[in-house]
Amino acid sequence: MKIKILLPIILLLGLGSCKKTLEEHPKSIAAEDFYNTPAEVESGLDAIYSPLRDPNNLGAIYQTQLECYADYMYGRGSHAVLNNYQGLDNTNITRVGTIWQLFYQSIRNANIIIQKTPLAKSVADTAKSRYIAEARFMRGLGYFFLVRNWAGVPLRTEANMDSINLKRSTAQDVYAQIVSDLTFAETNLPNAPRLIGAPSKWSAKTVLADVYMNMGLYSNARDEALAVIQSGNFSLVNVGIVSDFDKLYGADVVNSTEEIFYLKFARAPAGQGNYYPMYAFYPNSGYYPPGGYYTFYSDSVNNGVLSTWDRKDLRYSYNWYGQTFGLGNTTVLNKKYVDKQAVTAAGNDYPMYRYADLLLLYAEAEMRVNNGPDADAMEKLNMVHRRAYGKDPLTANPTVDFALADYASADTFLTLVVKERGYEDCSEGKRWLDLKRLGIVKRVILAVKGITVADKHLLWPIPTTEYNYNKAINPATDQNPGY
Amino acid sequence: MKLTAFLLICSILQVSARGFAQKITLSEREASPEKIFTRIEQQTGYKFVYTETFLKNARPVTVHLKNASLDEVLAICLKDMPYTWSMLNNLVVIKEKAAENAPPTPPVQDITGTILDDKGNAIAGATIAVKGTRQNAVSGTDGGFSFKGLREDAVLVISFTGYQTKEIAIRGKHELTVRLEISVRALNEIVVVAYGTVRKRDLTGSVSQVKPAEITSYPANNVINALQGRAAGVQVQQNNGAPGGSISVRIRGTNSILGGNEPLYVVDGFPYPKNPTFIQPGDIESVEILKDASSIALYGSRGANGVIMITTRNGHKGGKTQVDLSSGYTVQSPMKKIKLMNAGEYAQFYNLQAADDNLSPYFTQQQIDSLSKGPSTNWQDLVMHDAPMYTNNITVSGGDDKTQYSLSGGLFSQNGIIRNSIFNRYTLRGNLNHEISKIFSVSYNIYLTRSDGRNQNSGGSNRGADLISGMLEAPPTLSPYLANGSYRRLNTAYPFISNTIVNPLVTLNTISDKFKADNVFSNAALTIKPIKDLSIRISGGIYNSNNRTDTYTAIEPSTNSVGSATVGTNQVTSLLNENVATYNKTFGEHHLSVTAGYTFQNYVETTLSGSGTGFLSDISQTGNLSAASIPGIPNTSYQKWVLLSLIGRLNYSYSDKYFATLSFRRDGSSRYAPDNKWSNFPSAAIAWRIYNEKFLKDAKWISDLKLRASYGATGSTAIDPYATLNQLSSGNTIFGDNPYITYAPGTTLPGNLKWETTNQFDAGLDAAFLGGRLRLAADVYLKKTNNLLNRVQLPVSMGYTTTLRNVGQVQNKGLELAAEADVFKGAVNWTVGANISFNRNKVLKLYQGQDIYGNTIYTGNLNDYVNILRQGKPMGMFYGYKETGYTATGDIQYADLNKDGKISADDKTFLGNPNANFLYGFNSVVSYKGFELTVFLQGTQGNDIFNLNKTSTLDLGMGLNVPREEFYDHWTPTNTHAKYPKISRSISGNMSSRFVENGSYLRFRNIQLAYNLPVKKWAPEWWRSAQLYVSGQNLITITKYSWYDPDVNTYGSANSITTGIDYFTYPTYKSVTVGLRCGF
């Protein structure tokens, strides 16, 4: 009899507390209660950088991909098809699809900050606008990478980040968004960055200058670049001998006067290093202890860019070393990012925007605005050039300087700037985009490698992971040509 | 003692109380007197008193009586038995007749007789023994026998295999005709079901039982492994051959896309959250596999994939202590080795590649000649070896009427066929039952296991970067060691060689991947029987596991390793409380059993890991992570789920003919969104035991026939905890030279999720023929899984790649047949058993019709997914490019299916099906005198395997070794129909039809010859039994599959999309065992 009374009691006791028992209390942070204090917003801001620094993106593969396209480089193994210039195979389509995904993940993280920061409870208004400016800088930068490699892409902002189906915007619309983001950033970012590796007002102006160059708005570009030069915040690092370039690119460099906007890497903790050197080196070369895939290489004799590269230019010796592995004894590999102390990955940063880049951008913009070079343009070019020969960049040096008279026409000067940028930015993933911007890809590649570049090779395909699930993009009509 | 005193009183009083007016109605077939007495007790309120000797001598009786008197019933029950009965108040006392009148010297007489079977045919070879004497005889071909000079009160004991032993008192007769009844052993067996047990003959659902003899018939490293081929509808697949390696189990096909498809394991009533690898096969009493909705409904939200009930050994009544000992020694060896090129062939092969690619030859003719003459390095021989395996198990069990116990200890140690791989398991188990009083009883069991060992496995890498791909792809031209004894570096050995290839001996010897796991599994229960027919069981269980892995990669110049250590720990605690009441009631022909209860289970898992790279010396290994020059970021995690449930079941039967079961479970799970936490899982089943119908009464050829049908819903907790919450994940980034913590959402967008539900219809038939010598079971089923949790892809531009949705529907339908037959009975016994199961799987609906792809597999030269889920097709179909031959230049030609003039992803098509048409198992046991020969075959038919091991045959710019056949049969202008394309590094390889192979196989899983030593003849009395055996496992496999073993599933796991692929898998082994099993 007792049991008949007990049983319902047991059941009631058990079930009475059901609701609470079934509640979930994970030991992690819920998005709804976050983004209220400066520290919380900053940790969200920092998350914008991680997808860019991923080894499958600007942490190695992006630059590897673009360097294999360069006139001075060749790809090996699964990257060999890249310098056939006939478009991508499945392996490489998958690779660039991942790059697309990572850029958009970074853009999503930026959108979250742009959306959530105005609601932050304990952040001052001035700090809010700085945070939003940094997020918009990063978003604009992300779209700049996307638009150059894919042309028009879906424009996801804080306003439409939750809608699944979103059509491909035109390249023009994407550029308009980039300009809007970067203009906001240049107004609201501080003179000095939040942290080394975060953007300042000058980073925004520098990127904006590059954007305007790509849009053909040369006087805007010139003005932005000039403002950065005139700020006096930056200078070229002096170089006397080849190894002095380590003060710029070396693994131990934390910051330099030349740094405008870099992606920062560190050997420790594990997983935060730069993996690009892994693709560059040959194992046991001594330059990079973790090994090497020697994915891209060149040839000091059989490649036109290298064979004509003045050996007195310190950048040649800094960039290349001989390494034979069965392709003849003039094969060379790139050693710009040496890290002899690397354990898992390198400590070298990715120099996305250096002062040298800006000077050369300025030189070109100034020339284009005036329809011909002037002394100012030539001086900026010569600053970079002198430094490459171990001379003081700020002192004219007739032994190495280019004379304006020799490059008086717009065409000859442009060719000179492009060549100088090729040497200066070797192995920085910038060459291919330059050739595309200038519309000289086909000419240059045919001249150097004897290959006619297929049109489809100029843009990457919209990944299947996008158009399969984004019903506003029709692969038949919206895909980039040739895919 | 009480009973003796009582009997004494009875005989003194000589009370006769015959003629009570109570009327009894009974209809029983082959029921034990005990059962009949219980029935009478229920109907009349009489109590019966009898001795154990009576029970031993009693034989089953068949009674069909209506409104009979006690006298009539007992006359039938005690017919031909030396017993009589008397009555005292309400007590019916059964006592020996001899006690009533014992003549001093009974007269002596002769007797002849005939032994007949139930159909009246003579039985030859039956044994007729005279009870209490050494006299015996054997019946002749006419069934006849004779004795001379027997006492008048002699009792004959007649026995014949397959028939119930019968005792007959001759009572002065001179001629006897004895009919033997067939023993339908199988049908009276008890099977374990959810929250209870049931007689097999009363089952309404579909349940397969696997017996301990089958589980221990050959040394398996895992109980579940031993189920392969034993039960219809159960697919056990060995994912790889590593010691302690994982296996996948599918019961009646694959239901779920996202969720697990592994069945629920219930060990001694405890729903165990994983595959119970800690159990020793020798500790198992029985394994039941619950397959239909009615059987699994009481496991509600966790039952959709079927339930495997494992019961460990109990003690036994009877006072005698038993000691069982078994020990085995096994030698394992690789099943086969892949025929790869030798050094000379390798050199010629890569010269061919150089020629095709317009490069100068890599090897001079002189080098080729010397390589051809010199020795080749056979990396497979260096990596694999013959390895021992030991199994040892001792069990002590016993008990009396009040207390039963069982204790066991076991040791299992397996060295893998790949060197430096080992798995050890040490187990201690105790089981105790005690009856405190008529009302209370307690039970307790505990299982302690320590397993440890060292793994060697494929790291899922390619181009020789890990052990298995290195073993298969390293050049045969290179010796493993340099002259100074150090390891040879392979990735710079040739200009054309893979930049990631690693000397497999470096991986084998310098990477130490060790694990150890402690499991405590304990369960206690209090059973209360407060009133007649009611039993309440309150139980509590704890499962606790502590795991640790220690991985150390030693300092090794040839791989640029500077020493790297990782330590990971994992702690799991799961608590279970179950309160279940069962009420049994019989009134007349009706029998009712009601089960109801309330259960609680939680599960908490925490992990902690740390790592470091860069050590000065190998001495500290994982012992001092703080000495690492690059410390890794430590990591911890926490996960918890809770499941609250109400259960209810009603069993009703009428007259042993009609059965009905209604089951219900209501589950509340913490994992789901607040409004969707609770769900109901009802089911119903009916069965009709036609055999007990009057119209089959005279059908002698049939010995049992039952039809069953069931329908119901079960669920699957397919999602991980917290999947419905919007959580942020932390990460790292660098500013300056320092790490900063980041917070952002992951790549999965949380969704508002509800339960995945599987509805299943099952119809089955159980039958026995020819006196039970042939037993059959057949089932057809149709399962539909609705609200399928689906990882829905999002356009990656959202920043999220996937979200979870309840969309999709999958169907499985199938047929299962199992048969068992006693082919010969007598001096030679031969029993065969066979089962076959057919399952057809189909994806009915997916989110917006979107295909779902399996994992992308990167082989170096290929990078694509292999499996696809598409509406209207079976799950996991192979999808890729179809080859049509070769181009004019010897490259691979793919079919341009959309006719757009180019080969693109749109040209992909279905290449094969990893799902088998049917699975089967066949077991044969022949015994003669002390010898016993067991042959167990098992196989699958009609499934395909995607053999990705062969990607190297298209990846010829990397200096990888390839199967020899490629050297002899590749495209040349004169051999355009070759198996392989031209030898060039620019072959346009794809995931294509080339890799699809027939995966059907028939395997001699076990062949065993055992000899039971006649210990009775020469050993002391305490020595019960001894068996010596020698057996061979996997000695013969008949298959067309070209790689190591068709029983493979590299990416096998709970998830079922990426399936049927063989890619650098630890090879399986064949083995020979000698062993001893003893009982004392």
CA atoms within 13 A on the CB side of B896: 7
The residue in chain B having the minimum alpha-carbon distance to the alpha carbon of residue A12 is: B598
Mean pLDDT of chain A: 93
Residues 6+ apart with CB under 8 A from B486: B557, B558
Specify the pLDDT at position B6. 42
A293 touches chain B (CB under 8 A): yes
B793 touches chain A (CB under 8 A): yes
The answer on pLDDT for A211 being more than 60 is yes
- Where does the pLDDT of residue B186 fall: very low under 50, low under 70, confident under 90, or very high at 90 and above? very low
The 10s digit of each residue's pLDDT in B773-822 is 899 999 999 999 988 887 777 899 999 988 888 878 999 999 999 999 98
Distance from CA of A468 to the nearest CA of B (A): 7
Q: What is the pLDDT of residues B271-292, one digit of tens each?
A: 887 788 888 888 888 899 999 9
> CA-to-CA distance for B806 and B804, rounded, in angstroms?
7
| Record: contact A21-B644, CB cut-off 8 A | yes
**Helix, strand or coil, per DSSP, at residue A222:** helix
List the beta bridge partners of residue B444. B432, B524
The band of B19, judged by pLDDT with boundaries at 50, 70 and 90, is very low
Q: How many CB pairs under 8 A join A and B?
A: 255
Interface touch B728/A29, C-beta < 8 Å: yes
The predicted model gives B1-7 an average pLDDT of 43
Residue of A nearest to B530 (CA): A3
Inform me whether the pLDDT recorded for B230 exceeds 90: no
Interface of A with B in 36-65 (CB under 8 A): 40, 43-44, 46-47, 49-50, 53
CA dihedral sign, ordered B891, B897, B898, B904 = negative
pLDDT of residue A26: 87
pLDDT value at residue B43? 78
- Best probe of the B interface among A21, A37, A46, A147, by most B CBs < 10 A, is A46
State the pLDDT confidence band at B22, using cuts at 50, 70 and 90.
low
A476 touches chain B (CB under 8 A): no
Contacts of A195 in chain B (CB under 8 A): 735-736, 740
d(CA B313, CA B294): 26
B397 touches B312 (CB < 8 A)? no
Taking residues A290-307, report their average pLDDT: 93
Spell out the alpha helix ranges (H) of A189-254.
201-215, 218-231, 246-249
Q: Smallest CA–CA separation between A7 and chain B, in Å?
A: 9
With an 8 Å Cβ cutoff, are B670 and A40 in contact? no
Q: How confident is the model at residue A469 (pLDDT cuts 50, 70, 90)?
A: confident
Nearest CA in chain A to B614: A343
- Spatial distance between the Cα atoms of A166 and A178, rounded to a whole number of angstroms: 18
Average model confidence (pLDDT) for chain B? 87
Contact A465 B632 (CB under 8 A): no
CB proximity under 8 Å: B 972-991 to A: 986, 988, 990
The verdict on B862 touching A (C-beta cutoff 8 Å) is yes
- pLDDT top residue among B91 and A246: A246
What confidence score (pLDDT) does residue B17 get?
A: 39
Nearest CA to B852 out of B1051, B1063, B1056 is that of B1056
Asked if the model's pLDDT at residue B385 lies above 90, the reply is yes
CA distance B305 to chain A (A): 24
pLDDT in tens, B979-1038: 999 999 878 888 999 999 999 999 999 999 999 988 878 878 888 889 999 999 999 999
What CATH code would you report for A1-72+81-189+456-483?
A: 1.25.40.890
CB contact under 8 A, B726 and A272: no
* Token pair 């027919």 in the structure block, residue: B533
Q: pLDDT tens digits for B239-262?
A: 788 888 778 888 988 888 777 788
A12 and chain B in contact, CB less than 8 A: no
Q: How far apart are CA A55 and CA A276, in angstroms?
A: 8
**Neighbour tally for B894: CB within 10 Å:** 21
| High-pLDDT (> 90) share of chain B, % | 51
**pLDDT for the residue A182:** 98
Alpha-carbon gap, residue B124 to B139, rounded angstroms: 5
**The amino acid at B551:** T
**Probe site for chain A from B301, B724, B733 (most A CB atoms < 10 A):** B733
User: Which residues 553-592 of B are in CB contact (within 8 Å) with A?
Assistant: 557, 559-560, 562, 564, 579, 581
> Under an 8 A CB cutoff, do B722 and A26 touch?
yes
Contact A29 B743 (CB under 8 A): yes
Same fold, A1-72+81-189+456-483 and A199-264+349-452: yes
* The residue type at A174: V
To 10 degrees, what angle do helices A410-424 and A375-388 make?
30
> How does pLDDT run across B92-143, given as a tens digit for each residue?
777 776 544 544 555 677 888 888 876 567 777 788 888 777 777 878 778 8
Which residues of chain A lie closer than 8 angstroms to B731, CB-CB?
47, 50
Cα separation, A123 vs A101, whole angstroms: 31
Q: How many residues does chain B have?
A: 1080
Which pair of structure tokens corresponds to residue B501? 């290839």
Neighbouring residues of A269: CB distance < 8 A, sequence distance ≥ 6: B630, B631, B632, B633, B732, B739
**What fold characterizes domain A199-264+349-452?**
1.25.40
pLDDT tens digits, residue range B681-711?
A: 999 999 999 988 888 877 778 888 999 999 9
Distance CA B7, CA B86 (A): 10
Which chain A residues touch B536 with a CB distance below 8 Å?
A: 3, 7
Q: Provide the pLDDT for residue B849.
A: 85
Question: A112 and B530: CB-CB below 8 Å?
Answer: no
Residues of A in Cβ contact (< 8 Å) with B611: 270
Q: How far is Cα A68 from Cα A432, in angstroms, rounded to an integer?
A: 9
**ipTM of model:** 0.94
Contact A104 B988 (CB under 8 A): no
**Any chain B CB within 8 A of the CB of A156?**
yes
Kindly list the domain boundaries of chain A, sorted by start residue.
1-72+81-189+456-483, 199-264+349-452, 276-334
- Whether B964 shows a pLDDT value over 90: the answer reads yes
B505-527 residue pLDDT tens: 999 999 999 999 999 999 999 99
Sort out which chain B residues have CB atoms less than 8 A from A153's CB and list them. Answer: 797
**Cβ-based burial of A445 (10 A; exposed 0-12, middle 13-18, buried ≥19):** buried
CB contact at 8 A, B61 and B83 = no
pLDDT in tens, B704-763: 899 999 999 998 877 788 888 888 999 999 999 999 999 999 988 887 777 888 999 999
Chain A contact present for B607, CB below 8 A: no
Q: Give the span between the Cα atoms of A363 and B1029, in whole angstroms.
A: 90
Give the lowest-confidence range in A269-278, B155-164, B357-366: B155-164
Which residues in chain B have their CB less than 8 angstroms from residue A465's CB?
793, 795-796, 801
A407-442 residue pLDDT tens: 999 999 999 999 999 999 999 999 999 999 999 999
pLDDT at B98: 54
For A155, nearest residue in chain B (alpha carbons): B797
Supply the DSSP string of B157-201, one letter for each residue: EEE-TTB--EEEE-TT-SEEEEEPPBP-GGGG-EEEETTEEEEGG
Backbone angles phi, psi at B664, to 5 degrees: -155, 135
Interface test with B, best of A163, A343, A350, A456 (most B CBs within 10 A): A343
Residues 169-198 of A with CB under 8 A from B: 195-198
Nearest-CB residue to B562 (from A14, A89, A343): A343
> What are the tens digits of pLDDT across the range B55-76?
777 777 777 777 777 777 777 7
Compute and round to an integer the Cα radius of gyration of chain B.
34
pLDDT band at B203 (very low <50, low <70, confident <90, very high): confident
The string of pLDDT tens digits covering residues B654-690 is 988 999 999 999 999 998 888 888 999 999 999 999 9
